[in-house]
Amino acid sequence: MDSNREPKGKIEPYHHPAAGWGALKYVAINLVKERVTGGNYRMLFKQNQPDGFDCPGCAWPDRQHASTFEFCENGVKAVAAEATTKRVTPAFFAEHTVAELMKQTDYELEQHGRLTEPMVYDARTDRYRPIAWADAFALVARHLNGLASPHQAAFYTSGRASNEAAFLYQLFVRMFGTNNFPDCSNMCHEATSRGLPDAVGIGKGTVTLDDFELADTLIIFGQNPATNHPRMLGELREASRRGATIVSVNPLRERGLERFASPQHPLEMLTLGSTPIASTFIQPRLGGDFALIKGVAKHLLELDDKAVADGTERLLDLDFIAEHTLGFEAFAADLRQESWPLLESESGVAREDIEALGRLYARGKRVIATWGMGITQHKHSVQTVQMLASLLMMRGNIGRPGAGLCPVRGHSNVQGNRTVGIEEKPSAAFLDRLGTVFGFDAPRQHGLDVVETIEQMIEGHVKVFLGLGGNFAMATPDTYRTFDALRSCDLTVHIATKLNRSHLVHGADALILPTLGRTEIDVQDGVAQGVTVEDSMSMVHVSYGMNKPASPHLMSETAIIANLAHATLGSAKVDWLAMAGDYARIRDAIEQVLDGFEQYNERIRQPGGFHLRVASRERDWQTPTGKANFIVHPVQQDTPIVRARRQHGERLMTLMTTRSHDQYNTTIYAMDDRYRGVFGMRRVVFIHPADIAMLGFRNGDWVDITTVWDDGIERRANYFRLVEYDIPRGCIGAYYPETNPLVPLDSVGDVCNTPTSKSIPVLLHRSAQPAELPAF
Ligand SMILES: Nc1nc2c(c(=O)[nH]1)N[C@H]1C(S)=C(S)[C@@H](COP(=O)(O)OP(=O)(O)OC[C@H]3O[C@@H](n4cnc5c(=O)[nH]c(N)nc54)[C@H](O)[C@@H]3O)O[C@H]1N2
Ligand SMILES: Nc1nc2c(c(=O)[nH]1)N[C@H]1C(S)=C(S)[C@@H](COP(=O)(O)OP(=O)(O)OC[C@H]3O[C@@H](n4cnc5c(=O)[nH]c(N)nc54)[C@H](O)[C@@H]3O)O[C@H]1N2
Ligand SMILES: [Mo]
């Protein structure tokens, strides 16, 4: 281990297009670093192909032109990380106590490679030791069946699990008796999933890739696709070449959105050419999108008034509004009375720029709005999503070709997980049908989400935690309180491919259950199984692994869940092991429980799979009113940020936590953030040069960060280097998960309860370079 973990850190602004040769170079480095053997390079050509595996990276959909090789640098990192030849064996665990492993960084933990055997924690030696699969299942069953109430257990899901695994998991847990399904989505697109239903009836996007080919205007809110959804850049590149207008709304001028050279187009790379992506950048302050979008809507109304006065073509889609929506009068009245100075100060965007965006939007005949975490991880995220839906509705931009809502999901099957029942607040209709098909009374009481799960652990009510993938301890807020919460459990269980810190922050009893990754061949009863996933645009397709499993002892996620269910509940009602013996049986069950999955097993065989119906796309509004709803929201003025600023003045900074180019959530592949010009380090704070001066610091100084919150708990993250950056005054950025200790557990979005990872009130304090940087 390094004594100083970031000795070679440097800042070097990036001047090349995104992707291009830089990406190819990094691909090569990754394959070598992970020691992926020669034969395995073939697998890259099977990524996102009709007969290959679904990339375990992001949820961006695939083009199904069998000739194009859907290539993406960060997809390769995800695949290479899973295909690594490095192993975490029982010998490794024998060598290291858990306390020792806790001293390693997340990057170092990731580097050890794939887990190979089921392990159980031994308190006497503070080490994990091997356990037989059957004994592991029996241990879980004993704990679960010993609880006073099924609600004392929580069952987490990270969005990589297949539809089959997730469906079986929710069936097992509901038969056990609870809806406690915290999942990564609670920290991610929950504002979308909770905000859209009241507006348009369903919490999903309304566009497909075909719409991207038709759109003339694309507005990208709070997203960094060059890093997180690189294949989206291919679509933006085509749109840009066609002459479409592309706007990025982001406090950071993300370089990856400026120019893009496609690795799929060698000529462009050979000539060092590149396609400009976003033609316009708007840089609101953190959380300023709500006021910005409201301002655009207000200006659209003004432009429409002018059209009426001038006798020119109206800008509102009056037919759409009349036929399909409710609430427009009240919505328009609220816009008219809204104050421009307030919209300007809250958005951080000058009125003339808001108006320019309004004109640009009004010019577009087919407009798509996409959004990511920059929109969903704030206090008023649900309101922002609904305001965005209203803006599109004003011009009928929902449910027509080339236009619509495009939330861009994170994990490759997070949307599918929700579809098949990973939902702590299930509808009564779903529970009725599940209960009827399987002959049981599904529990009605709503379950716990991520934040509530941690709170209930702290209260001593949740005693067993089971994680289907993910890294709960690091992905969640308030790191040290979350650690205490997990350590108070009687049992923690992780079904995982790789070692991570959640395995080290454990309950009295603890298990690590190693599983197959999606790229690996999954044989059950002698037959290779495919699994299905749903992407961000509701396409459901099958995925077949093609690599040899990392270890002969691994079980598939589906098989592990079936065995847990069998051991806990017995197989009188459901023949769990038979279900896991042939995944087609699970798909048959899904077909019985859920609409839209008719002939599931047949339809996944067609290349590209099938599109799951999204009613709002067809202007079928499944809201309580039967119409799309314009929803009025005021600009929030009494927020934790505003209160903290009142107390501390301009020294108060709003912190957003984000991803670097070389990480996948809590998995740190390497230490660079190429497009932002950061190399060899992660403990940095992006800050405006004028704020550096105002605070009396200099570029490159070391600082500690503390949170301004009102519960008397000190929240602190130490040793970060200041990096001057093109970011609005008063706003700073740093990487997650290192900054999660700063996010208070009760700092959550309205309605969605999502941690406000993009708006944390903080102060910066002078510090010095330590002899050794903290491990996390
Ligand atoms: N390689 C890679 N791919 C990934 C992931 C990964 O970690 N690595 N993670 C996956 C997951 S789970 C997810 S959810 C997605 C995440 O993908 P993104 O949604 O791109 O998430 P972030 O990296 O957090 O970046 C959010 C962007 O929002 C901007 N932003 C921050 N605050 C605001 C704001 O208040 N307003 C606006 N308009 N913008 C703001 C930031 O500057 C940044 O550009 O990516 C998925 N794909
Ligand atoms: N401060 C802050 N916090 C955030 C965010 C933020 O922007 N800022 N983003 C939030 C978001 S959007 C999300 S989605 C969450 C992510 O939260 P999680 O989904 O919990 O975290 P990941 O880092 O994606 O999980 C990585 C681990 O999953 C396991 N894994 C990988 N592949 C597989 C597999 O195929 N099967 C199984 N069983 N396990 C596997 C590996 O052990 C790996 O270590 O974090 C959230 N937390
Ligand atoms: Mo996510």
Q: What is the mean pLDDT of residues 572-585?
A: 98
pLDDT tens for 505-537 read 999 999 999 999 999 999 999 999 999 999 999
What spacing in Å lies between the alpha carbon of 749 and ligand 2's midpoint?
20
pLDDT of amino acid 522: 97
Query: What is the Cα–Cα distance from 311 to 324, expressed in whole angstroms?
Result: 25
Neighbouring residues of 208: CB distance < 8 A, sequence distance ≥ 6: 61, 537, 538, 539, 611
pLDDT tens for 44-56 read 666 666 667 888 8
Ligand nearest to C-alpha 667? 2
Amino acid letter, 696: G
Q: Is the dihedral of CA 292, 293, 296, 297 positive or negative?
A: negative
Q: Which atom of ligand 1 is nearest to the CA of 222?
A: 39
Mean pLDDT rounded to a whole number for the chain: 93
What spacing in Å lies between the alpha carbon of 414 and ligand 3's midpoint?
8
Q: Which atom of ligand 1 is nearest to the CA of 659?
A: 23
Q: What is the mean pLDDT of residues 636-648?
A: 96
For ligand 2, mutation pick of 77, 101, 465, 666 (most atoms within 8 Å of CB) = 666
Distances (CA, A) of 666 to 109, 373, 705: 11, 15, 20
pTM: 0.96
Helix (H, G, I), strand (E, B) or coil at 258: coil
Query: What is the Cα–Cα distance from 287 to 189, expressed in whole angstroms?
Result: 15
What spacing in Å lies between the alpha carbon of 445 and ligand 1's midpoint?
33
Encoding tokens for residue 353?
Answer: 């720029």
* Ligand 2 near 589 CB (within 6 A): no
What spacing in Å lies between the alpha carbon of 473 and ligand 2's midpoint?
10
Select from 669, 527, 667, 609 the least CA-distant residue to 52: 609
Select from 88, 174, 167, 165 the least CA-distant residue to 512: 88
pLDDT of amino acid 651: 98
Query: Other CB atoms closer than 10 Å to residue 138's CB: what's the count?
Result: 15
What spacing in Å lies between the alpha carbon of 223 and ligand 1's midpoint?
5
- β-strands 610-611, 539-543: how paired? antiparallel
* Ligand 1 near 188 CB (within 6 A): yes
Amino acid letter, 721: R
* Ligand 1 near 734 CB (within 6 A): no
For ligand 2, mutation pick of 190, 252, 497 (most atoms within 8 Å of CB) = 497
Q: What are the helix (H) ranges across 271-402?
A: 289-310, 318-324, 328-337, 340-347, 351-363, 373-376, 381-394
Q: Report yes or no: 420 and 166 within 8 Å, Cβ to Cβ.
A: yes
* Ligand 1 near 221 CB (within 6 A): yes
Q: What is the mean pLDDT of residues 393-397?
A: 98
pLDDT of amino acid 2: 44
Ligand 1, atom 24: closest residue by C-alpha: 658
Give the model's confidence band at 65: pLDDT under 50 very low, under 70 low, under 90 confident, else very high: very low
* Ligand 1 near 223 CB (within 6 A): yes
pLDDT of amino acid 608: 82
Neighbouring residues of 233: CB distance < 8 A, sequence distance ≥ 6: 18, 19, 225, 226, 256, 260, 262, 277
The better pLDDT of the pair 62, 728 is held by: 728
Place of tokens 């990094």: 26
Amino acid letter, 485: A
What spacing in Å lies between the alpha carbon of 78 and ligand 2's midpoint?
12
pLDDT tens for 221-242 read 999 999 999 889 889 989 998 9
Which domains does the chain possess?
Answer: 10-83 (no CATH), 87-179+413-606 (3.40.50.740), 190-407 (3.40.228.10), 640-766 (2.40.40.20)
What spacing in Å lies between the alpha carbon of 218 and ligand 3's midpoint?
22
Query: What is the Cα–Cα distance from 578 to 678, expressed in whole angstroms?
Result: 51
pLDDT tens for 486-502 read 999 999 999 999 999 99
Encoding tokens for residue 658?
Answer: 């984000």
Q: What percent of the chain has pLDDT over 90?
A: 84
What spacing in Å lies between the alpha carbon of 335 and ligand 3's midpoint?
32
* Ligand 2 near 657 CB (within 6 A): yes
Print burial letters for 74-91: b (CB count within 10 Å at least 16), e (below 16).
bbbbbbbbbbbeeebbbe
Strand partners, 248: 220, 281
Q: What is the dihedral of CA 701, 707, 708, 713, to 10 degrees?
A: -130
Q: What is the mean pLDDT of residues 449-467?
A: 98
pLDDT tens for 717-770 read 999 999 999 999 999 999 999 999 999 999 999 999 999 999 999 999 999 888
pLDDT tens for 346-391 read 999 999 999 999 999 999 999 999 999 999 999 999 999 999 999 9
Ligand 1, atom 11: closest residue by C-alpha: 410
Place of tokens 């999903």: 204
